[in-house]
Structure 1
Amino acid sequence: MALRHCLGACLLVAVALSPAAADDALTLKDAVARAVADNPELALGEQRGRAADARSQRAGQPPPLELGLELENIAGTGQSRGLSGAETTLMLSRTIERGDKAVRRRGLAEERGALVRTEADIRRLDLLARVARRFVHVVRDQRLLEVAEEAVTLARQARTQAQRRVDAGAAPASEAARADIALAEAELELEHAEHELKATRVSLASLWGERQPGFSRARADLYALPPADDLDALVAALMRNPQLRRLAGQHRIADARRRLAAARQSTDVTLSGGVRRREAMNDTAFVLGLSVPLGSDARAQPGIRAAQAEAAASQRELEAARREFYAVLYGRYQELQHARTELKTLRERILPAADSALSDIRNGYGRGRYSYLELVDAQRGLIEHRRRAIRAAEHYHRHLIEIERLTGSSAAAVNKDS
């Protein structure tokens, strides 16, 4: 179940990060498959789940039959010398549990097994969310590298124009020197962007054990923003969160302990029967036995009180976590909406205006209508707005990943072939 939820968290982003590229380009689906294929933490969770199932079966078993043998009046003196006066008793006994103790034990073991599986779901969800975040990071750095290359191109064009003006005597030599500095700075930013992309590609590939990434680029459209459910639907889905499911599981375990402790008030009875052989009289007789422990109710009371307190504490902890998760979800949802609005405003209003302004200033600078500082300011403004748009899109995807992680949603699982 959790894998489906985790794929929902990651693949909802995959819908947005999809258009085709080179043959060795990496999709989010590919990255998820590689990370899951041979992950030791996930394999550990499967083994723990099998162990929990076995413990559940064992816990439901009744007390075993016990075979006992007693030898009396042996190796003594007189008529008891050697085995001549021996009495041999062969007994078969079993404790009869009252109060449905076996059922309570099995119920407790099953709740513990469910908790083990929930913890495996948490590890799986954490892994796949980590894959999605790093994938988005690679896509962001690819875009930032493109913007850095554009910045170098603009700086070179500005340097060429500045040199022409200096050569024509329309500007001082310092203008060309400043253009050289701006070009050098742009080239440094490009070099930094290249190293950042290399690092994030290695970080992503490390999730499936590769030191040298076996993909050329991440195949994605960062600006395609998949829609999120409305807030009410997300709040309703919040209980699918594995962390809350774990706390709910811990509460059920505490409640199962309380029921088992209460069952221990019921006194168990041990029945036994067997055969006794008396050598001195050369005869055989049947033997029956019954034993009942005393004070079971009083001895059970401290355990009952402790279990009741643990169950009440786990219920309070679950309620506190629900409130906290709602606050986190609400904050993420607001940030998600802001990121969408920011990206929309940048792409539809600010970037077209900045592009148009730069084109006008670049043409006017060649004719002396604008200064070099105005040209540089327009270039920097355009580049900065492009970077801001990239970061707004990245923030949207990151908030969406966290929202899907909070709600354990599998709404996008139908798009698993994207």
Structure 2
Amino acid sequence: MALRHLLGACLLVATVLPSAAADDALTLGKAVAKAIADNPELALGRYRDRAADALSREAAQPPPLDLGLELENVGGTGQTRGLSGAETTLLLSRILERGNKAARRRGLAEGRGALVRTEADIRRLDLLARVARRFVHVVRDQNLLAVAEKAVALARRARTQAQRRVEAGAAPASEAARADIALADAELELEHAEHELKATRVSLASLWGERQPGFRQAAGDIYTLPQPDELETLVAALEQNPQLRRLADKQRIANARHRLANAQRYTDITVSGGIRRREFTDDNAFIIGLSVPLGSDQRARPGIEAARADAAANRHEREAARRELYAVLYGRYQELKHARTELDTLRQRILPAADTALADIRNGYTRGRYSYLALADAQRGLIEHRRRAIRAAERYHRHLIEIERLTGSSAAAVDKDYTP
């Protein structure tokens, strides 16, 4: 089921932290369990499912028996004065349906029930995707906060070096002022990162009704990238897309409506039987009746044509949705590959080179070989590349979550060759 696949794929994002504070850490599995436990949208689906089941049972019922009582020749004059000439008829009648109408109604009701369940699945998938996205956002902001703290530490170290050079007369006072400005900027970025993390934590906790998050941190390694299936496999799995399943349910409902409309061509027969009492003659007699409406075939034609047109429209709607989903899937898949390429390049080539360059420039700055501008530029470049790597990893997870929503297939393997 798509719900299970999405959860299985998303759980690959989370890894339990090996610290003593692991009990305070929130895994993605716990976040999903909390969100599902008491979600009003999911409760809504359960009640609608019960209602659909009840309507299905109602639709399968045959027409009820009809009990009638007629009193004639009363309250008149002469022999019909009072009740002396009354004729009393007790009649029991029932419609005998032709064309298997009860089964057609039940089929239509069951189709509507399947649509209700599919829509409940869609709501569950939407909830899971929201949990996964917000969980990844929290992990991203935790990493960005760590980078902001690293940036402050680098700025403080550079300011100390600049002050020493100014005090030694090896640099103008403006160099220390620039270092102070850079430190203030880094501290502002740190404050912004703290606020961003607070907001994303509250956003995640709100999914299970907490205004103040009860977890200290999200336990996840953003650099662990689950490996998706090949594009051809994902395209084949598009038929499991919840929106396509919903349109398939609508198609079945349209077909059921068409079958029920066709059944209306068959004339129903009303049979009746009862007893008649004649007070004037003190006689009793049995009554048997039969009635058949005329023109049923002609009256059924507009409903048949409407149901046929509705079924054809649903087929075209589903095909249009399938083509659009392929375009969206293809785009997401390409963005996923690009995010991985960007992250691999940053972590394997750019970040190691930026670390080496910063260490060399820092040592050279102490000896007067490089200017403060070169040191500040090297520090800024390293920090920006680290942030870029975090955002690339976040985009990868975000695209993977959306691919899971589109296909319902599981990204069941982590690339073993990738070392985070």
Category of TM-score, reference length = shorter chain: over 0.9
SS of structure 1 residue aligned to 2:227: coil
Superposition deviation, residue 8 in structure 1: 2.7
Identity of aligned residues (%): 77
Contact 1:144 1:193 survives alignment (8 Å): yes
User: Separation in 1 of the partners of 2:44 and 2:50?
Assistant: 10
Secondary structure of the 1:70 match is: strand
User: Which AA in structure 2 matches 1:8?
Assistant: H
1:200 equivalenced with 2:193 (yes/no): no
The residue aligned with 1:344 is 344
Q: What are the residue-to-residue correspondences of 1:9-408 with 2, within 5 Å?
A: 9-20=6-17, 21=19, 22=21, 23-408=23-408
- State the shift of 1:254 in Å: 1.2
Runs of 4+ deviating beyond 6 Å: none
Q: Partner of 1:370: helix, strand, or coil?
A: coil
Shift of 1:234: 1.0
Following TM superposition, by how much is the alpha carbon of 1:277 offset from its aligned partner in structure 2, in angstroms? 1.1
**Relative to structure 1, is the Cα distance of residues 142 and 411 closer, same or farther in structure 2, using a 3 angstrom cutoff?**
closer
Deviations 1:162-181 (A, max 9, x none): 11111111111100000000
The alignment's C-alpha RMSD in Å is 1.2
Quick check: 1:87–1:279 contact (8 Å CA) kept in 2? yes
Would the alpha carbon gap of residues 225 and 359 (structure 1) be closer, same or farther in structure 2, given more than 3 Å must change? same
Q: TM-score w.r.t. structure 1 length?
A: 0.96
CA contact (8 A) 2:16 2:27 kept: no
Q: CA deviation at 1:411?
A: 6.1
TM-score by length of 2: 0.96
- Please give the alpha-carbon distance, in whole angstroms, between the structure 2 residues aligned to 1:122 and 1:14: 19
- Which amino acid in structure 1 is aligned with residue 13 of structure 2? A
Whole-Å separation in 2 of the counterparts to 1:294 and 1:349: 84
Contact 1:73 1:86 in 2 (8 A): yes
Aligned AA (1:172) = P
User: How far off its partner does 1:242 sit?
Assistant: 1.2
Matched position secondary structure for 1:350: helix
1:26 and 1:216 in contact (8 A); partners too: yes
Distance (whole Å) between structure 1 residues aligned to residue 258 and residue 274 of structure 2? 37
1:130-186 deviation line (CA, Å, top 9, x unaligned) = 011000000000000000000000001111111111111111110000000000000
**What amino acid maps onto 1:405 in structure 2?**
R
| Partner deviation per Cα, 1:105-137 (whole Å, 9 max, x = no partner) | 111111011111111111111111001100000
Deviation at 1:409, TM superposition (A): 2.9
Q: 1:7 deviation in Å?
A: 4.1
- Tell me the residue number matched to 2:417: none
Contact 2:240 2:408 in 1 (8 A): yes
**Matched residue type, 2:14:** L
Q: In the aligned structure 2, how far is the partner of 1:101 from the partner of 1:320?
A: 33
Distance (whole Å) between structure 2 residues aligned to residue 66 and residue 307 of structure 1: 31
CA contact (8 A) 2:95 2:269 kept: yes
What do residues 250-281 of structure 1 show as CA deviations (whole Å, max 9, x unaligned)?
A: 11111111111111111111011111111111
Shift of 1:13: 2.5
Shift of 1:300: 0.8
Contact 1:7/1:128, CA 8 A, preserved across alignment: no
Partners of 2:290 and 2:10 lie apart in 1 by 68
Mapped partners of 1:157, 1:9: distance in 2:
45
Structure 1 distance, partners of 2:407, 2:197, is 31
Deviations 1:204-228 (A, max 9, x none): 0011111110000000111000111
Contact kept in structure 1, 2:227 and 2:412, CA below 8 Å: no
Displacement of 1:10: 3.4
Instruction: Determine helix, strand or coil for the equivalent of 1:272.
Output: strand
Q: What is the rounded CA distance, in whole Å, between the counterparts of 2:36 and 2:409 in structure 1?
A: 18
Match of 2:416 in 1: none
C-alpha displacement at 1:338, in angstroms?
Answer: 1.0
Paired with 1:287 and 1:259, the residues of 2 have a C-alpha distance of 36
Q: Give structure 2 stretches of 5+ with no counterpart.
A: 414-420
How much does 1:397 deviate? 0.5
Q: How many residues align?
A: 410
**Matches of 2:261 and 2:202 in 1, distance apart?**
53
Q: Is the 8 A contact 1:10 1:401 kept in 2?
A: no
Contact 2:229 2:411 in 1 (8 A): no
Secondary structure, in 3 states, of the residue corresponding to 1:67? Answer: strand
Deviation at 1:390, TM superposition (A): 0.2
Cα contact 2:136–2:397 (8 A) shared by 1: yes
Given that residues 6 and 410 in structure 1 are in contact (C-alpha distance below 8 angstroms), is that contact kept between their aligned partners in structure 2? no
